[in-house]
Amino acid sequence: MSNKVAVNPMNRGGSLVPQGFDEMWRLAQVLSASSLVPQDYRGKPENVFLAVDMGLSLGLAPTQAIQRIAVINGRVSVWGSAIPAIIRSKGFELVETVEGDGEAMIASAEVRDEKGKIVSAATFTVEDAKKAGLWKKKGPWESYPKRMLMHRARGYAAQDSGLLVGIITAEEAIDTPAEIKDITPEPPQIPQGAQLAGDAIEDVTEAPEVPADVVEEIREKEASYNEMAELADEAERCTETSDMFAGAK
């Protein structure tokens, strides 16, 4: 197994980048065992492996990636403070301004190429923050509103430039609630035959009450039928007795 490493050309600090799958996996195991990495990565070399790989695609060294990439509300994201370094590592420039005061503040961000041409631009105002339910929200939005406006404009400009390869900022992920899915089971489907039977039972249950005089008539006929049945039984017994005596003679 090779122990070769290479200097990441995208980082001036001389960060070492593993060569190939095996070295990446060894690095992930080492980092996941360290107490210096964020809690979510400790003991999880698989997560470290993917974060490092994703960081390299953004221009971040492995140790930077695990500090700047996070999964928040189920979405992979990168902290806004890492965006300027990501943009510079790819040969672009980030220009940011915040104009106005109080509720008149407007944050603007532009990503420019090496010739100064604007590749993408975005603004985020206090009015935008209000519409999103962020303005004066407990936490950073209440304590550092100017910085949060700047981070949101910066994130949008970076995303529109394509340099973040579809990854959103961690600040945006925090402000976006996780998707809620309805897991309530559907009621069981009643077979057609069972449904018809149920309807028939319901119809019988809800049948109108039989009048008293009709009930009395039915009972009288029932008594008459019972009496006739008893007479028929008696006649049959007499016939059997007569036949028995006849046979004895």
Residue ending a domain, choose from 160, 175, 190: 175
- Could you give the number of structural domains in the chain? 2
Give every CB contact of residue 27 below 8 A, 6+ residues apart in sequence.
18, 48, 52, 62
> In this predicted structure, what is the pLDDT of residue 69?
93
Give the HSE-up count for residue 71: Cα atoms under 13 Å, Cβ half-sphere. 9
Sign of CA dihedral 168, 171, 172, 176: positive
Query: 118 and 55, same structural domain?
Result: no
In a domain, 29, yes or no: yes
> What pTM, to 2 d.p., does this model score?
0.62
Query: 152 and 90, same structural domain?
Result: yes
What is the tens place of the pLDDT at every residue in 159-170? 999 999 889 999
What is the tens place of the pLDDT at every residue in 74-85? 788 999 999 999
**Among the listed residues 239, 217, 94, 72, the one whose alpha carbon sits nearest the alpha carbon of residue 159:** 94
